[in-house]
Amino acid sequence: MDADLLILNAAHLLTCASPDGPKRGAALADPGLIHDGAVACLAGQIVAVGPTSEVLAQIDEPDAAVIIDARGKVVTPGFVDPHTHALWAGDRASEFELRIAGATYLEIMHAGGGIMNTVRATRAASLDDLIDETLLRLDMMLMHGTTTAEIKTGYGLDTATELKMLDAIRVLDEQHPMDLVPTFLGAHAVPAEYTGRTDDYVDLVVNEMLPAIGDLRYIVETPDGEYNIRAADFCDVFCEVGAFDVAQSRRILEAAKEMGLSLKIHADEFEPLGGTSLAVELGAVSADHLVCTTDEQLQALAASDTIAVSLPGTPFGLAHSHYTNARRLIDLGGALALASDLNPGTSWCESMQFIIALACRALKLTPAEAINAATINAAYALSLGEYLGSLEVGKQADIIVLDIPDYRHLGYRYGTNLVETVVKRGQVV
Ligand code: NIG
Ligand code: FE
């Protein structure tokens, strides 16, 4: 067969293969390790993967392809980051200092800072400035090995700015090599102008924002012609004390589901309100954070098709000592994914390598479990597991080469960039 890109001789190649759905429970421990591994790609797709000699034997003219020699190195699927707030304007460095001095995240938020602080900056920013600031972060993500990322709205909190954010995500998706998955998070916080009137704001989300966004399609031009894409694939809600309670979250998520949007929820970040049960009941694709989830709800989650997305960068960023009880979730047979939660308040971290290193320590994952959680399971957390997230024939050629001799160095080492080459859709980017 033909190939236009060959990655050969990898000391360790991890396929992270899981064709029949996310890796659950004990299956997370298997990274699909191939010694002296290779992968062949053609027109952006993987056409062969296996030991180097077997892959080469299948290729008619290996010299016609771009060849990457991965001798002494590690090859894995590109990271998928399934929970980010990567699109925003400004920063919150002064709040960071307040928090170090003892103020809590929720105190700052209830005093009108926090998310609202970033909302003011994002409302004031032009579309171009918002895009330019975010492009720098997307480049940083890509350099650290992330090839697909979700991005949420939620720093607009009025219809016009939420739409501006979706416009920005669409432009970024066109301009940037990463694939971006848009999520509508109009219910990220109660904006200042609705203080004390949360139900009125929920009315606005349900009656004005969702109809404007749920039906919105963008026309994208490609070499193969024009096609329509949804402005948002997912709807998410911050279910938390001081944000939206379970009844309010339910109203929004049910309305979104009615419009055909897939669901996500921020659940149990600070208080166990019941957002996890709601996610399971509504068939959400993922429930995210899960720091203080009760054991009963962890059991329900593990028994469901909803992916558990842990965001260890957030407790780390807030200098908290509680993290998702990932070992329990895995013991219960649950499907765990990892994400950065990249945002200006709690976790300004573009690197999934750091999230993996943190997950090994704070969540007690093995490197293999953490890598599966950051690739194939993260892809399933975006309903993309059939198309990307693993090195399997027929999947998108999203591949990274790491300058490490053993895959366990990913997790073991932290704070420097171990990624040497990033391949997106078969192109070295
Ligand atoms: O996931 N908890 C809500 N949203 C983000 C924080 C966003 C912010 O503080 O700007 C989170 O941690
Ligand atoms: Fe978040």
Q: What is the pLDDT of residue 110?
A: 84
DSSP β-bridge partners for residue 148: 80, 179
Q: Is residue 385 part of a domain?
A: no
Are 52 and 151 members of one domain?
Answer: no
Q: What is the pLDDT of residue 73?
A: 98
Q: CA distances (Å), 283 to each of 84, 207, 300, 357, 366, in order?
A: 21, 22, 12, 30, 29
Mutate to test the pocket of ligand 1, among 188, 240, 309 (most ligand atoms within 8 A of CB): 188
Q: Give me the number of domains the chain comprises.
A: 2
Q: What is the DSSP letter of 396?
A: B
| Boundary-marking domain end, from 342, 359, 380 | 380
> Is any ligand 1 atom within 6 A of the Cβ of residue 274?
no
> Is any ligand 1 atom within 6 A of the Cβ of residue 345?
yes
Q: Is residue 37 part of a domain?
A: yes
Q: Is residue 97 part of a domain?
A: yes
The CATH number covering residue 60 comes to: 2.30.40.10
Q: What is the pLDDT of residue 129?
A: 97
Distance (angstroms) between ligand 1 centre and the Cα of 343 equals 6
Closest CA to 39 of 353, 372, 423: 423
Closest CA to 203 of 136, 252, 263: 252
Q: What is the pLDDT of residue 135?
A: 98
> Is any ligand 1 atom within 6 A of the Cβ of residue 346?
yes
Are 83 and 50 members of one domain?
Answer: no
Q: What is the pLDDT of residue 221?
A: 80
Are 69 and 186 members of one domain?
Answer: no
> Is any ligand 1 atom within 6 A of the Cβ of residue 310?
no
* Structural domain containing residue 405: 5-78+390-428
pTM beyond 0.75: yes
> Is any ligand 1 atom within 6 A of the Cβ of residue 372?
no
Are 160 and 307 members of one domain?
Answer: yes
Q: Is residue 116 part of a domain?
A: yes
Q: What is the pLDDT of residue 235?
A: 98
Q: What is the pLDDT of residue 327?
A: 98
Task: Output the CA angle 317-310-338, nearest 5 degrees.
Answer: 100
Closest CA to 6 of 147, 376, 218, 47: 47
Task: Output the CA angle 187-376-257, nearest 5 degrees.
Answer: 30
Distance (angstroms) between ligand 1 centre and the Cα of 226 equals 35
Alpha-carbon dihedral 262, 266, 272, 275, rounded to 10 degrees = -20
Handedness of CA 208, 252, 220, 351 (dihedral sign): positive
Q: Is residue 268 part of a domain?
A: yes
Q: Is residue 117 part of a domain?
A: yes
Are 192 and 287 members of one domain?
Answer: yes
Task: Output the CA angle 251-216-200, nearest 5 degrees.
Answer: 30
Are 217 and 121 members of one domain?
Answer: yes
Are 23 and 67 members of one domain?
Answer: yes
Distance (angstroms) between ligand 2 centre and the Cα of 224 equals 35
Are 257 and 141 members of one domain?
Answer: yes
> Is any ligand 1 atom within 6 A of the Cβ of residue 233?
no
Are 363 and 394 members of one domain?
Answer: no
Cα-to-chain-centroid distance, residue 284: 15
Are 308 and 236 members of one domain?
Answer: yes
Are 176 and 250 members of one domain?
Answer: yes
Going residue by residue through the chain, which has 429 residues, state the pLDDT in tens, using 9 for 90 and above.
Answer: 999 999 999 999 999 999 999 999 999 999 999 999 999 999 999 999 999 999 999 999 999 999 999 999 999 999 999 999 999 999 999 999 999 999 999 899 888 899 999 999 999 999 999 999 999 999 999 999 999 999 999 999 999 999 999 999 999 999 999 999 999 999 999 999 999 999 999 999 999 999 999 878 888 887 888 888 899 999 999 999 999 999 999 999 999 999 999 999 999 999 999 999 999 999 999 999 999 999 999 999 999 999 999 999 999 999 999 999 999 999 999 999 999 999 999 999 999 999 999 999 999 999 999 999 999 999 999 999 999 999 999 999 999 999 999 999 999 999 999 999 999 999 999
Q: Is residue 323 part of a domain?
A: yes
CB atoms within 10 A of CB 175: 12
Are 404 and 360 members of one domain?
Answer: no
Q: Is residue 401 part of a domain?
A: yes
The CATH number covering residue 237 comes to: 3.20.20.140
In the chain, what is the straight-line distance between the N-terminal and C-terminal CA atoms, in Å? 25
